[in-house]
Structure 1
Amino acid sequence: MMRLSKILTFLIVSCCGIVTAANAQGLNWTEVAPGVWKTVVGNPDEYDLLKAAGVAPKVEALAKIGQAAFPLPESDIAGQVQGGKTALRFPLERGEQIYGFGLNFQSVHQRGKILRLHVDHYGGEDNGRTHAPVPFYVSSNGYGVFVNAARYIDVYAGAAARIDSENPPEARDRNTDENWTSRPYSDAVEMLVPAAGVEVYVFAGPTPLDAIRRYNLFNGGGPLPPRWGLGFTQRVHKLYTAEQTIAEAKAFEEKGYPLDFIGLEPGWQSKAYPCTFEWDKGRFADPEKFVQELKGMGVKVNLWTNPYVAPEASIYDEILPYTASHTVWVGAVPDLTMPKAQDIFWSAFEENHVDIGVSGYKIDEVDGYDRYLWPDVATFPSGVSAEQMRQTYGLLVQKQSTRLFRERNTRTYGLVRASNGGGTSFPYVIYNDYYKHEDFITALVNSGFAGVLWTPEARASKTGEEWLRRMQSVVFSPMAMINAWSSGTKPWSFPEVAEEVKAMAILRMQMMPYWYSAFAKYHFEGTPPFRAMNLEEGFTQDQSAATLADSQVNLETNPYAEAVRREVKDQYMAGEYLLVAPMFTGQTSRKVILPQGRWYDFYTGEFVGGGEVITVTPGLEKIPVYVKDGGIIPMMAPMLHAPKAGEKVAMEIRHYGEKPGTYRLYDDDGETFDYEKGEYTWREVVVERRSNGKLRGSISKAERGMPNTFGKVSWNFMTN
């Protein structure tokens, strides 16, 4: 007998607005790329996340993952339009866990959550209002779901139980049953989209990581930053002059600290909040000379800005007809969906910045704070709603600013405050004003589920211990950044740990071949360079909910006992082989969960365990890092700046453990988009055991006529 829920899905009840022939016939799924299916419910908005991002899928790369069957029972997926809104329902099995729904800072497990996915600053609670509220989730069962709507989407992630469910929760008596819970089991993810239709995509696995790879490749693959973007960066005080900035760059050189690009904060502009996008000639009398002088020192320039146009800006009168009905800090808000607005706006950036050698941007305040961003009652001349514009403004500024550099065949790498579904390929890292170290690491864990990059930046600290612990995390992240816009902090500001900080910064540079290859695999294969332990093969944990009984809580303060789920949110995988377990202020030891297999200490090569929980006491100078058996870590000679195009560097290739291993080492010119024309190589690194029991390493030869950054190669067998 057909389930009542399915019958209701098919009913056409005109008085309630439940119409569309598609609903009456069920959902029709079309495979639009290998392992990727699409359906349409109702009449979707013309403007959505994928249209805003405007990125083409990497179909050939998707095909390499392989074909797969549709991963869910189609009959258990429902979609219907009711009252001008679209309701969606996807099944969940018992024991199934789900991850994703954007850049969350405090939780990894999302089953049981109720969220409203809304671009905003992060306000300290995982409620869906965040910098990248990506409407994509992935299941522990090995599939992913993406809702392509530029709307504030309500999510009930296994948080509601239908009366007609085939797998209903058991009704319990709270008076006598300690297993009673205020969050009964739910067998579905349900979403409500405030639009009369929506596109939905399903991504096959077979593993959760495969589903994420398909999602990333469908959205263009991850960004491939320039090599210098993976070096070290310092953002200077907001009112620094050209002379002070150059002096700071010289201090880095003299003290032996790496530096690849400097970020200028608001004071470089003649007016900010709102912005003119023009140089302050009092602090920067000759901007081009300033940029070129830093370039001669091996340091590039990144400029802070937000997109709100000051009345004093030279483009103000011209762009005004293409701006919103409401302002931000009394600045005009360009309608960046309109070609004319784009031309006027970005021409100012081209003329004032890019043409004189500026290498990238930090684009601020495109996320939220309702008290200053445009309200939802605002109108835009294109007809795109204020809600849709808020959900996509971060995508628009990333796409359009990147185009400035692509037209010059030069890569960029920058910072942005907002992104969303479809934005995987943009060369931007998210940051914010929040500053809890532990939550920064959880955000880094979750970034791999959302197709975004996140930096646990360091700004200031109360003690040398805190400073060193934050800097250690920064080194093992997508952007190694000190953001001293307010504090003026330098890497050497705490003398008691200055040498340890320098050692970590130099380690970042030594590991550049590993990081660069990890990002190449993100770009070409869709594998996030930083990702949750849940995606690592051999990682197991109890995914069940541990429910508090009445006897374990204070019922006066908590009358509804909440379920507590065990999560691993303070350690993560970095690249192909590394497990990183940051330490936080006040900790002298911590527990680390090691997946199945044998794992080795990154610094010494010693065996530490496998398939178990270990307690480590690393000392202040080290962040715990472990390498899986057979792991190969390519490292280069220590340098203060990233290698330039054509520059060769000596290589040390490390091997850990007892097993033979293989590694694909990526190389290109490190600066241009010529890799898109095939000008790149994958060098095959192999470690095998000879007949005498000794390990031997080899690396394939460089291809004639292709980029070759690697000079003399030495081998370091860390465990033998």
Structure 2
Amino acid sequence: MPVNIDMLTLSPKAHEATLVQGDHYRFTVLTEQLIRIEYSEQGVFEDRATQSIINRHFPIPEFEVIRKEGLLEIITKHLHLYYTYGPFSKSSLRIDVKNNYSLYSNRWYYGDAFETLKGTVRTLDHQDGAVELEEGIQSHNGFSVIDDSKSSILVDEETIVPRVHDQIDFYFFAYGREYKDALRDFYKLTGVTPLLPRYILGNWWSRYWKYTETEYKELFQRFQKEDVPFSLSVIDMDWHMVDIPEKYGSGWTGYTWNKELFPDPTRFLEWLKEQELRVTLNVHPADGVRAHEEMYVPMAKELGIDYNAEHPISFDITDKKFRDAYFKYLHRPEEERGVSFWWLDWQQGTTTKVAGLDPLWLLNHYHALDQVKQGKRPLILSRYAGIGSHRYPVGFSGDTIITWDSLRFQPFFTSTATNVGYTWWSHDIGGHYKGYKDDELSLRWMQFGVFSPIMRLHSTNSPFNGKEPWRFQEGIGDIMKQYLRLRHELIPYLYTMNWRTHQNNHPLIMPMYYEYPMENNAYDAPHQYFFGSELIVIPVTEKLDYDLQKAPVDVWLPEGQWIDFFSGRIYTGGKKLRVFRGLDTIPVFAKEGAIVPMAKHVSHSNSVDNPTALSILVFPGKSNAFELYEDDGESFAYQDGKYAVTKMQLDWENQKFVFFPAEGDRSVIPENRELNISFKGFTDMKKIAVRMDGQEIDFVNSYNRETNTCTVKIMNYDTRSMLEIMLLDEVLIQEFNQYEEAIFDLLNKAQISFELKDMLYQLIKQGKNKFDLLIELRTMKIDENLYDAILENLID
């Protein structure tokens, strides 16, 4: 039976009107910028779906076909294809792309290499730093190619077969620098990204460690005591029997609980559920099922295997009979008693008995399909298996080495994966193994994790390698706890971006050039990225400058004003600059008018439900609107309209903020909410009026000068009502004129001579204009980082 879920809905046959065909060639004009190109000596062309491509039923675009003696031309608004017939070659097939990004790089000949802005790669296993990435669909020169010639055929959701004939089958993208349009049509071609369950966006606890049930409970009781929230428990391979009789082989693959560690698995899973934790278990399926497993006999009987002889049940995901038993006996019983999804770890290799068919892709596909059949949103944790893998989130990036070089690569790696639509990478935050102990590195990695798609702490089975905050220096451990709480506070914003990724093809993470394609600086900032529609994030990947007790970060801010998410300080964009951050913060910038809905922190709670108390951050500068999306967080009921959207709007010109009545199915959200609306980067506004449905109501107003934040608190907001906050002061925006105070703080913390501190501070206090002050500072030949840190506090 076909599954009516977007990620698996197959519409592979193109409109006849889009086909331009001969005996051995076929061109399909899918859009004015996307063309399928096929060649077959047998004259056989493929109209079924493939592993990568599931939809070719696009609206008929405008194009022109010209046939001359010995020449076929296809012309659209964006490309011009020339084909002189015969087998494809450089001399028989070329495409001119209609752009002027380069004097010489807008023509493609068949077989030519092409440059893209890269995509992603199967795994970062065992890597220490940067790796070479596969090609993506986005190109600085405006065109790229997906080669689908070798992928297997998806006859229907269940049936995958190899191609019978050798064929050339690829897709030419000619989207120029319209990157978001290219990604939109890529998703249309390859399938949408599923809507993730809400709990996935919280903190995950993962450690390769042989816990006992008692130890595990004590760990999470300690987390609760320390007020550190988690939404997901990831139990690595030692949940199952590992030390098995030698005659059965390795214990790497297993499905039977280790009763010495977990005497009553049902009781243990129920306890985790009581703590509001979901569970995933790690599995390595490659070795199949051996005779020591509890489910071996019934499974062997069903598959006709001599269980008395203890013949192993071989892993063969291509075989439907095995596959049905695999889910029936190995996975469904654990899901029924509390396992939410599976971590499909390595060890399958890259071959199956079907030539060219990757077992990793098959596992990802069939596990997702099995969950859909059960009425669950498709969800796994598994490695990337090629184009189309975004249909099977979440991605496990592998076992990385614990070094600064590994951390430096991950922000670029994460954002660049968007170029193949793969937006939900989960890294081993803090690194997996080897490397060295460095508390500062662990903190910076965790801060990146909070502002990455999935926040999964992880470490290997060394007694010295764990990510519990109390393992680190006291100050660093406290900061870690703050950021882990922040991640849960961000879930309303993250879940809305999850919806936008699914519904509007607007990924959570995007490289800078997606919004600024014509800005060269956008391509020279690989370490920074958009984090949803409102924020830019630049993770700290360098150690502290010891003298300054701050780390340097090179930043490019586009034109306009950008407000520091943490401090409320306003920066004028249109330039590159070096900023400095202490251990407690990283550069996160909100756009003008940004609205970031967050959950108010609830102490000692793991809940990620739609919150009864919201904290809304509002930043100055421009009018803007944000629509908060909420549903039940887990089911497919949203497809039947069971979701609510709450619009929030900053009307900058009229100096008011409006919270509109929730629209849609309000049963999924609380009837009443506490609202804490924080205007960050504003002056201390004394004149404020608050109206609900036109009637003035009571509120509490407070101001935090350290973060330039004015907070309006409404205790009992009816979600059916319209709330208006009128900002009646004349000056709303906070001008950064406190540089003397900021530089004092910088110098006070700096580990430099008192004489130099006094000399610099006296110079600052003289009241010279900033330009003259900078010139004089430069003549003093002070340390470059110290000069740049002072510069950051002087520039507008």
Q: TM-score, with normalisation over the residues of structure 2?
A: 0.66
Query: 5 Å matches for 1:268-287?
Result: 268-271=239-242, 274-287=252-265
Residue aligned with 1:410, SS: coil
Q: What whole-Å deviation, never above 9, does each CA across 1:205-243 have from its counterpart, x for those lacking one?
A: 571122112212433322321111100011133311222
Q: Does 1:341 align with 2:303?
A: no
CA distance in 2 between partners of 1:315 and 1:275 (Å): 14
Aligned to 1:148: 148
Residue aligned with 1:586, SS: coil
CA contact (8 A) 1:319 1:341 kept: no
Deviation of the 1:283 alpha carbon: 1.5
Aligned to 2:730: none
CA distance in 2 between partners of 1:523 and 1:443 (Å): 21
CA contact (8 A) 1:662 1:684 kept: yes
Deviation of the 1:682 alpha carbon: 2.9
Aligned to 2:539: 582
CA distance in 1 between partners of 2:145 and 2:76 (Å): 12
CA distance in 1 between partners of 2:606 and 2:181 (Å): 32
With over 3 angstroms needed to count, the CA separation of the structure-2 counterparts of 1:292 and 1:88, relative to structure 1, is: farther
Aligned to 2:366: 400
Aligned to 1:716: 678
CA contact (8 A) 2:116 2:139 kept: no
Counterpart code for 1:661: N
CA contact (8 A) 2:284 2:346 kept: yes
Query: 5 Å matches for 1:353-372?
Result: 353-365=334-346
CA distance in 2 between partners of 1:684 and 1:412 (Å): 28
CA distance in 1 between partners of 2:144 and 2:418 (Å): 13
With over 3 angstroms needed to count, the CA separation of the structure-2 counterparts of 1:520 and 1:203, relative to structure 1, is: farther
Residue aligned with 1:278, SS: coil
Aligned to 2:501: 522
1:491 to 457, 469, 474: 469
CA distance in 1 between partners of 2:658 and 2:45 (Å): 55
Q: Which has the higher contact order (CA 8 A, sep 6+)?
A: 1
Query: 5 Å matches for 1:522-601?
Result: 522-537=501-516, 540-541=519-520, 567-587=524-544, 588-601=551-564
Aligned to 2:734: none
CA distance in 2 between partners of 1:468 and 1:123 (Å): 20
Deviation of the 1:648 alpha carbon: 4.0
Query: 5 Å matches for 1:623-638?
Result: 623-638=586-601
After TM superposition, the structure 1 stretch with the greater mean CA deviation from structure 2, 226-235 or 36-45, is 36-45
CA contact (8 A) 2:595 2:626 kept: yes
CA distance in 2 between partners of 1:675 and 1:459 (Å): 35
Residue aligned with 1:222, SS: coil
Query: 5 Å matches for 1:7-26?
Result: none
Query: 5 Å matches for 1:47-196?
Result: 51-52=50-51, 70=76, 72-75=78-81, 95=101, 111=115, 121=125, 133=134, 136-140=136-140, 145-150=145-150, 196=166
Q: What whole-Å deviation, never above 9, does each CA across 1:537-576 have from its counterpart, x for those lacking one?
A: 3761169xxxxxxxxxxxxxxxxxxxxxx74321111111
Deviation of the 1:70 alpha carbon: 4.9
CA contact (8 A) 1:307 1:333 kept: no
With over 3 angstroms needed to count, the CA separation of the structure-2 counterparts of 1:424 and 1:458, relative to structure 1, is: closer
Q: TM-score, with normalisation over the residues of structure 1?
A: 0.72
Deviation of the 1:44 alpha carbon: 10
Residue aligned with 1:684, SS: strand
Aligned to 1:464: 439
Deviation of the 1:679 alpha carbon: 1.6
Deviation of the 1:525 alpha carbon: 1.0
Residue aligned with 2:479, SS: helix
Deviation of the 1:444 alpha carbon: 0.7
CA contact (8 A) 2:24 2:39 kept: no
Unpaired segments of 5 or more residues in structure 2?
A: 1-19, 64-74, 106-112, 153-162, 243-249, 305-310, 545-550, 683-796
Aligned to 1:4: none
CA RMSD of aligned residues (A): 4.2
Deviation of the 1:485 alpha carbon: 3.8
The number of residues matched between the two structures is 592
CA distance in 1 between partners of 2:85 and 2:137 (Å): 17
- Which structure has the larger Rg? 2
Counterpart code for 1:139: S
CA distance in 2 between partners of 1:445 and 1:456 (Å): 13
Q: Does 1:481 align with 2:456?
A: yes
With over 3 angstroms needed to count, the CA separation of the structure-2 counterparts of 1:195 and 1:458, relative to structure 1, is: farther
Aligned to 1:429: 395
Q: Does 1:294 align with 2:272?
A: yes
CA distance in 1 between partners of 2:267 and 2:382 (Å): 27
With over 3 angstroms needed to count, the CA separation of the structure-2 counterparts of 1:119 and 1:644, relative to structure 1, is: closer
Q: Does 1:689 align with 2:652?
A: yes
With over 3 angstroms needed to count, the CA separation of the structure-2 counterparts of 1:464 and 1:599, relative to structure 1, is: same
Counterpart code for 1:698: F
Unpaired segments of 5 or more residues in structure 1?
A: 1-20, 99-108, 153-192, 324-329, 368-372, 544-565
Query: 5 Å matches for 1:609-628?
Result: 609-628=572-591
CA distance in 1 between partners of 2:632 and 2:171 (Å): 36
Q: What whole-Å deviation, never above 9, does each CA across 1:150-192 have from its counterpart, x for those lacking one?
A: 469xxxxxxxxxxxxxxxxxxxxxxxxxxxxxxxxxxxxxxxx
Counterpart code for 2:615: E
Residue aligned with 1:251, SS: helix
Counterpart code for 2:259: K
Aligned to 1:441: 411
Q: What whole-Å deviation, never above 9, does each CA across 1:394-450 have from its counterpart, x for those lacking one?
A: 332222223343334334644212322122222312221123111112211211112
CA distance in 2 between partners of 1:437 and 1:48 (Å): 43
CA distance in 1 between partners of 2:85 and 2:594 (Å): 46
With over 3 angstroms needed to count, the CA separation of the structure-2 counterparts of 1:641 and 1:239, relative to structure 1, is: same
Q: Does 1:303 align with 2:303?
A: no
Q: What whole-Å deviation, never above 9, does each CA across 1:315-344 have from its counterpart, x for those lacking one?
A: 678679999xxxxxx997633233222202
Q: What whole-Å deviation, never above 9, does each CA across 1:110-165 have from its counterpart, x for those lacking one?
A: 8289999888957569776x7xx5x642224666643324469xxxxxxxxxxxxx
CA distance in 1 between partners of 2:440 and 2:222 (Å): 23
Aligned to 2:215: 244
Residue aligned with 2:390, SS: coil
Deviation of the 1:358 alpha carbon: 0.4
CA contact (8 A) 1:41 1:80 kept: no
Counterpart code for 1:350: H
CA contact (8 A) 2:469 2:480 kept: yes
With over 3 angstroms needed to count, the CA separation of the structure-2 counterparts of 1:110 and 1:503, relative to structure 1, is: farther
After TM superposition, the structure 1 stretch with the greater mean CA deviation from structure 2, 473-482 or 591-600, is 591-600
CA contact (8 A) 2:122 2:397 kept: no
CA distance in 2 between partners of 1:505 and 1:610 (Å): 30
CA contact (8 A) 2:203 2:456 kept: yes
Aligned to 2:28: 29
Deviation of the 1:354 alpha carbon: 0.6
With over 3 angstroms needed to count, the CA separation of the structure-2 counterparts of 1:628 and 1:119, relative to structure 1, is: closer
Q: Does 1:509 align with 2:471?
A: no
After TM superposition, the structure 1 stretch with the greater mean CA deviation from structure 2, 586-595 or 214-223, is 214-223
CA distance in 1 between partners of 2:599 and 2:447 (Å): 19
Residue aligned with 1:353, SS: helix
Aligned to 1:389: 357
With over 3 angstroms needed to count, the CA separation of the structure-2 counterparts of 1:149 and 1:311, relative to structure 1, is: farther
Residue aligned with 2:485, SS: helix
CA contact (8 A) 2:277 2:606 kept: no
CA contact (8 A) 2:129 2:407 kept: no
Counterpart code for 2:337: I
